[in-house]
Amino acid sequence: MCRGLLLNHYLKHDGKVSVESVRAFRFQAPKIRDALAYLGKYGVDSKTRGDAQCMATYEMENFEFLFGMVIWYELLNAINIVSKILQTEDMHIDVAIQELEKLISSVQNYRENGFDTALIRAKEIASEMGIEAEFREKRTIQKKKHFDESDNEEEVTQSALESFKVGYFFYIIDQSLSSLQSRFEQFKKYEEDFGLLFKLEKLKSADDESLMKFCMNLEELFKDGDVSDIIGGELFYEFGYLKGSIPKEAKKAVDVLSYLKQMDGCYPNAWIAYKLLLTIHVTVACAERSFLKLKLIKSYLRSIMSQDRLNGLAMLSIEKDLAEKLEYSCLIDTFVVKNARRVVFQ
């Protein structure tokens, strides 16, 4: 828990794992230890004092803990930067795939070359804090030999540093790589299905055979029974015309969709293909923010709120920027007209 709190508090968002950010983190380590020691003496309750004193004495004074903090800091910093990029409103799948490929490559490179660099930085932090930069030797457990094992078999022993590298550093890096590759493998499937639509250069450079195959695959992809939203043969001819008619300033898929919208139904299949591509969510950040907002709206005091009222308040809260631009006078007039109750007297 201590590692997570410290990392969340001192994680930087400057776009890269820079020497300045690591140096700033290094200077904060002694202050963190002093703050924990102060909390251990003057904490509110006994549990807080005990936990703070334990972390200040047995965690912050441990070189292995400081080394682990440096590793987690550099790893989570890179992941957090890419996560922030993916949550931007105008993020597209092709850009997300490129960022994830860069992240995976960076983590793989850190696995190969990051251990020695992190060790140097951890030793600098330990030197400033007055801590010996050495690992605590653990007691070796003697393995009981069976009757059929010979006594001259040599047992392979590892140093404390090598054991930390294999059992801790490689383990968390490999787990991170496995999670990244499995969590975002669906993006690779999107790249296979919509590859030519990501950039206009890919569409223009495709030959007729590959373009026809791509169009037929899209037809099969969006087919429900005998009905498909896209007709592959017609899409092939539409792309043939689009190659020479799209303006030069159109570079991204959203630019092509804007051009197709201006053409007002001249390219129906291409319009559907690009619209399906651009409606695919890169992350679920918007949905998560909506659920967090829902918890704030429907509190304990509003537990008997009707579903219609809850939907309306949630929509106003989520679309706050759009709601502030509305003209309330027109809305009030419309509401009065719809809800006017007049009794005709004879």
Contact 193, 169 (CB under 8 A): no
Most confidently modeled range among 1-5, 174-178, 260-264, 312-316: 174-178
Residues 6 or more apart whose Cβ sits within 8 Å of residue 94: 191, 198, 199, 253
Q: What is the mean pLDDT of residues 25-39?
A: 73
SS3 call for 69: helix
Query: Given this model, what pLDDT does residue 153 score?
Result: 46
Note the pLDDT tens digit of each residue in 72-97. Answer: 888 888 888 888 888 777 777 778 88
pLDDT confidence bin for 325, thresholds 50/70/90: confident
Residue 143 has pLDDT above 80, yes or no: no
| C-alpha span between 298 and 315 (Å, rounded) | 13
**Per-state percent for the chain, helix, strand, coil, to nearest 5:** 70, 0, 25
**Helices 185-198 and 268-278, axial angle in degrees (round to 10):** 150
Q: Is 121 exposed, middle or buried (0-12, 13-18, 19+ CB in 10 A)?
A: buried
Q: What is the mean pLDDT of residues 35-54?
A: 82
pTM: 0.61
The chain-wide mean pLDDT, for the chain, equals 76
Q: What is the mean pLDDT of residues 190-196?
A: 77
